[in-house]
Amino acid sequence: QSALTQPRSVSGSPGQSVTISCTGTSSDVGAYNFVSWYQHHPGKAPKIIIYDVTRRPSGVPDRFSGSKSGNTASLTISGLQAEDEADYYCCSPAGSYTNVVFGGGTKLTVL
């Protein structure tokens, strides 16, 4: 199973918005409404910020939002803050729910 495709890096200034794309296939992202997104600060444990494409766990600011169209999911972070600088990974089930595929990760830099 190939990794989902994400841009290697994105950047934005504080207060701006950025969108990170996650492109898969009709066998993973396109097949299920279960895309999740993880925020990973190096040296720390990853943290879930979006699940089921659009849902936010409690405690995650509403600056984080998710969407999906066809085989591509997206994470939008609005009102960028310095603490948002991290690596972001998308994740999707694949293969009749028995497999899981991650994106290659996107490094967000807050300028």
Partner 1 sequence: QVQLVQSGAEVKKPGASVKVSCKASGYTFTRYGFSWVRQAPGQGLEWMGWISALNGDINYPQKVQGRVTMTTDTSTSTVYMELRSLRSDDTAVYYCARGESRWELDPWGQGTLVTVSS
Give residues in contact with partner 1 (CB under 8 A): 1, 3, 34, 36, 38, 40, 45-48, 51-52, 57, 89, 91-93, 97-105
Of 30 and 34, which has the nearer Cβ to partner 1? Answer: 34
Residue closer to partner 1 by CB (options 86, 91) is 91
Which DSSP string corresponds to 52-111? TTTB--TTS-TTEEEEEETTEEEEEE-S--GGG-EEEEEEEEETTTTEEEEB--EEEEE-
- Rounded least distance, CB 23 to partner 1, Å: 14
Nearer to partner 1, 40 or 63 (CB): 40
